[in-house]
A = this chain, B = another copy of it.
C-alpha cells in the first residue's frame, strides 16, 4: 500500500556531507545555537509527526474533501486533531523570529521539514505553509504593533494566515485588480472586493484567520504600482489580544478541484471589512513578494515531497509485483515470475523518479542555504551575493521542482500498471495533488518569464555569473578521477547555459517576444544544469565515502548520479535547439487561427 518514511538518511547526507551545514551555522552568529545534533533531533521528531499524524489522513482527506455549509468550511475528519498536535508541539514557529516567539531555525532545516509535510499530506500542509509565508511577510514589513499583535499567535498556530491576491478577472495580471481600500479616520481601512482561489480562506482548524489582502487606495496609480497591502483578520482583535467580533469577510464558496481536496480553496468576499495597511501605500506588491517568494520555494517543495512519497509507494508495489522474466533469464526461478524491477524499462522509470527527487532535495537545500546566508551571514558582500542567487533560483525552484514533481508522480504511477490508475494504492492522488503546484503561486510559465526577464536579461547575466562561479569553484576542487568525466560534462553544460543566456540577452534587445518564446524551455535547461551541479556535489561526497561503506548508500548515490548524467542531462540538447528556434514561428499565426469556430 501507499507508504511514507521521511528520508532521514538522505536528508542528513545533504545537510552534513554535501553542504557541511554545521560549519556554515557556526560561522553565523544568529545561528550559533544551531548544531547538527539539534537539527537531527528536530528532523527525527518531524519524521514522527508527519509519518504518524499526517500521512494516515492523506487518502481519507482526499476521499472526503472539505465541505462548505452556510458560510463555514469544515476540513476532513482528523485534520483538526492533527493540526492541534502540530501546533502544540511548536512546529508552526520553527523558522520564526525568536523575538516574537519563533524558534529561529535555519531555512536549511525548514525546507526538509516542509518536504516531509508535503509528502505526508499535501492538502493539510497548505494551511501551515501559507501561514509561514504570512508571518515572514509581517516580520519583514509590518509595524512593531502589528508584529506584536499577530506574530505570537500565528507562530503558536492559534491563528493562520492567508494570501489574498487573485480576483475573478485578475490572476497572473495583478495590475488590474479591483479590490478597494478606503481610509478610515482611525487609521484603519475599509476593504471591499472579491478574492478567489484563496487557500485556507476559511476552515475550522484554529480560532482566527489572518488575511493578507492586496487592494487599491482611492487615489492609487494604475497597474502594479498602485497596489497596497492590508492585514484583515476574520475576527477583529480585542485589546487583550484575543479574537473578538466578526469582521465583514466571508467565504462565499469553495472550489471543486482535481486534487488537494482536503485544502479549502475559497472565494472570499470582503464586504467593507476592516483592515490595516502593512508597509507603504502603493508598495504592497513588493511587500507581498516576500510572501510570494517564500511560497514559491514552498510550492516547489510540494512537488518534491509528492515525488518522494510517490517513489516510496511505487517501490513498495514493485517489491511484491511479479511479472515476466528478466531479459537474461529468470532471477527468481522458484516464483511464478520475477519482480518487475528486473525489467530495464521499469528501472529507467524508477531511476528517473529517484534522480529528480534526490537532485530536488539537494536543490531545495541549496536554495535554503543561500536564504540563510542572505539573512544571517556577517559579511555583507556574502549576504548580497546569496540574495542574488536566491532571486535567480527562486523561479527555477518553483517551476522545475513542480514540473519534475508532476512528471515523477506520473512516472511512478506508470510503474504500477493498472493498479496505478485505481484509487487503492494512492498513486493517482499524488498525480492529482502534484498538478496544482505547476499552476498556482504563479504558473510555471510566469516563473519562466520572471527568470528570463528579471533574473537573466535585466542584469545581463550578472546573477548567472555568480552562480556559474560557484559551480566552477566546486568543479575546480573536485579531483576524484572517477568523476572527471562528469566534471567535463557539467562544464560543457554550463557553457551551453551561458552561451544560450548571452544569446537570449542579445535577442531580447531586438525583439521582446523572444523572452516569452524562450522562457519555459530555457528554465528547464537551467534546471537540468543546476541539478547536474548538485548531483556532482552529491557524487563527490559519496565518492569520498564509498570505499569504506557497507550500507550501499553511497554506492547507490553514485549510480543514481550516473543515471542523471547519462540518461537525463542530455535533455538539454533538445531544449537548446527549441530555444534557438526563436519567437517568429510562435508569433506567425494570426490570433483567430487558434480559435475554433
- Contacts from A to B (Cβ < 8 Å): 3, 5, 7, 166, 169-173, 175-176, 196-197, 255-259, 265, 311-312, 315-316, 318-319, 322-324, 327-328, 336-337, 339, 341-351, 354, 406, 410, 413-414, 417-418, 420-424, 428, 431-432, 435-436, 438-440, 443-445, 448-449, 512-517, 519-520, 552, 555-556, 559-560, 562-563, 566-568, 570-575, 577-578, 581, 583, 585-597
Q: Give complex CA distance A513, B347 in Å.
A: 11
Given A436-B421, A586-B563, A515 and B327 contact (CB-CB distance below 8 Å): yes
Q: Give complex CA distance A166, B172 in Å.
A: 46
Q: Which residues of the partner chain B approach A197 to less than 8 Å between Cβ atoms?
A: 418
Q: Which residues of the partner chain B approach A512 to less than 8 Å between Cβ atoms?
A: 327-328
Interface centre among A519, A583, A596 (most CB of B within 10 A): A596
- B574 and A570 contact, CB distance less than 8 A: yes
Distance in angstroms from A545 CB to nearest chain B CB is 16
A443's closest neighbor in chain B, by CB?
B417
- In the complex, 10 of the A-B residue pairs with CB atoms within 8 angstroms, ordered by the A residue number, are A339-B591, A344-B516, A347-B594, A414-B439, A418-B439, A552-B590, A555-B593, A566-B585, A573-B573, A574-B574
Interface centre among A5, A512, A581, A594 (most CB of B within 10 A): A594
Q: Which residues of the partner chain B approach A439 to less than 8 Å between Cβ atoms?
A: 414, 417-418, 420-421
Q: Give complex CA distance A166, B559 in Å.
A: 35
State the number of copies, please: 2
- A570 and B577 contact, CB distance less than 8 A: yes
Q: Give complex CA distance A519, B349 in Å.
A: 12
- B418 and A559 contact, CB distance less than 8 A: no
**Dominant secondary structure of chain A at its interface with chain B:** helix
Q: Which residues of the partner chain B approach A585 to less than 8 Å between Cβ atoms?
A: 559, 562-563, 566-567
- B423 and A443 contact, CB distance less than 8 A: no
- Beyond A5-B596, A345-B517, 16 extra complex contacts between A and B, CB < 8 Å: A173-B322, A173-B323, A176-B336, A176-B337, A312-B596, A328-B512, A344-B516, A344-B517, A413-B435, A414-B443, A421-B435, A552-B592, A559-B588, A563-B586, A566-B581, A566-B585
A324 contact from B172, B349, B572, Cβ within 8 A:
B172
Q: Which residues of the partner chain B approach A324 to less than 8 Å between Cβ atoms?
A: 172-173, 175
Q: Give complex CA distance A321, B119 in Å.
A: 34
- A552 and B516 contact, CB distance less than 8 A: no
- B552 and A596 contact, CB distance less than 8 A: no
Q: Which residues of the partner chain B approach A449 to less than 8 Å between Cβ atoms?
A: 345
Q: Which residues of the partner chain B approach A428 to less than 8 Å between Cβ atoms?
A: 257-258, 435
Q: Which residues of the partner chain B approach A323 to less than 8 Å between Cβ atoms?
A: 170-173, 176
A556's closest neighbor in chain B, by CB?
B593
Q: Which residues of the partner chain B approach A171 to less than 8 Å between Cβ atoms?
A: 323, 417-418
Q: Give complex CA distance A53, B575 in Å.
A: 43
- A351 and B586 contact, CB distance less than 8 A: yes
Interface centre among A439, A575, A585 (most CB of B within 10 A): A585
- A348 and B586 contact, CB distance less than 8 A: yes
Q: Which residues of the partner chain B approach A516 to less than 8 Å between Cβ atoms?
A: 327, 343-345
- A520 and B422 contact, CB distance less than 8 A: no
Q: Which residues of the partner chain B approach A319 to less than 8 Å between Cβ atoms?
A: 595
Given A323-B173, A421-B436, A574-B574, A351 and B589 contact (CB-CB distance below 8 Å): yes
- A418 and B166 contact, CB distance less than 8 A: yes
Distance in angstroms from A5 CB to nearest chain B CB is 6
